[in-house]
């Protein structure tokens, strides 16, 4: 008898189609699967980090249609029809200016928070690209407050973000 693989991890698989880092993906996932697990375990994109797994640290941040979300709280099924960008997707022909700025400003120490920070800064950049005014330091600080860093004391991260968000 043919094995029924439509049930696993407590539910029927659902078919989803989405784009990740510019690549179209079609797959079947259980309804309870987290986007973080889909990204790391099924798609082998390990740059997105599992931290608190409770939506508190931002290490697992990815962009969905240009805005940062915590992939540890986001169901994989909800990516259907959407565009997902992970830290791997920030580098195209060369490193993204956000990553270059983090490196130039010495804002990366152990590096655990860095993928999430870069995604959060990119999300702010997207948000302010159609905004009539540039964000000030306080606005940037507020925009990054969901991302924790144990190493840097945040000053260099804010410097890096400010350099990208307020060029010139």
Q: Are 136 and 144 in contact (CB under 8 A)?
A: no
Q: Which of 17, 52, 103, 155 binds ligand FES (CB under 6 A)?
A: 52
For residue 56, state whether it binds ligand FES (rule: CB under 6 A): yes
Q: How many helices (H) and strands (E) does the chain have?
A: 5, 5
Query: Cβ of residue 16: shortest distance to ligand FES, in angstroms?
Result: 20
Q: Which helix (H) or strand (E) holds 127?
A: helix 114-129
Rg (CA), the chain: 17
For residue 72, state whether it binds ligand FES (rule: CB under 6 A): yes
For residue 55, state whether it binds ligand FES (rule: CB under 6 A): yes
For residue 99, state whether it binds ligand FES (rule: CB under 6 A): no
Query: Cβ of residue 90: shortest distance to ligand FES, in angstroms?
Result: 17
Query: Cβ of residue 6: shortest distance to ligand FES, in angstroms?
Result: 29
For residue 155, state whether it binds ligand FES (rule: CB under 6 A): no
The Cβ-side half-sphere exposure at 101, using a 13 Å CA radius, reads 21
Could you tell me which residues come within 8 angstroms of residue 16 by beta carbon, excluding any fewer than 6 positions away? 26, 27, 28, 29, 76, 77, 79, 80
For residue 150, state whether it binds ligand FES (rule: CB under 6 A): yes
| Chain contacts with ligand FES (rule: CB under 6 A) | 50-53, 55-60, 70, 72, 108-114, 149-152
């Amino acid at each position: 008898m043919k094995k029924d693989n439509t049930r696993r991890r407590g539910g029927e698989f659902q078919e989803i189609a989405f784009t990740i880092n510019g690549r179209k993906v079609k797959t079947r996932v259980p309804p309870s699967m987290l986007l973080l697990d889909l990204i790391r375990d099924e798609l082998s994109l390990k740059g997105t980090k599992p931290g608190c797994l409770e939506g508190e640290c931002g290490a697992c941040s990815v962009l969905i249609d240009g805005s940062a979300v915590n992939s540890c709280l986001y169901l994989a099924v909800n990516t259907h029809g959407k565009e997902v960008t992970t830290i791997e997707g920030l580098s195209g022909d060369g490193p993204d200016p956000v990553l270059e700025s983090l490196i130039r400003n010495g804002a990366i120490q152990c590096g655990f928070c860095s993928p999430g920070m870069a995604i959060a800064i990119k999300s702010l950049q997207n948000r302010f690209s159609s905004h009539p005014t540039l964000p000030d330091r306080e606005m940037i600080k507020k925009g990054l407050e969901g991302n924790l860093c144990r190493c840097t004391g945040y000053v260099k991260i804010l410097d890096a973000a400010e350099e990208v968000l307020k060029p010139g």
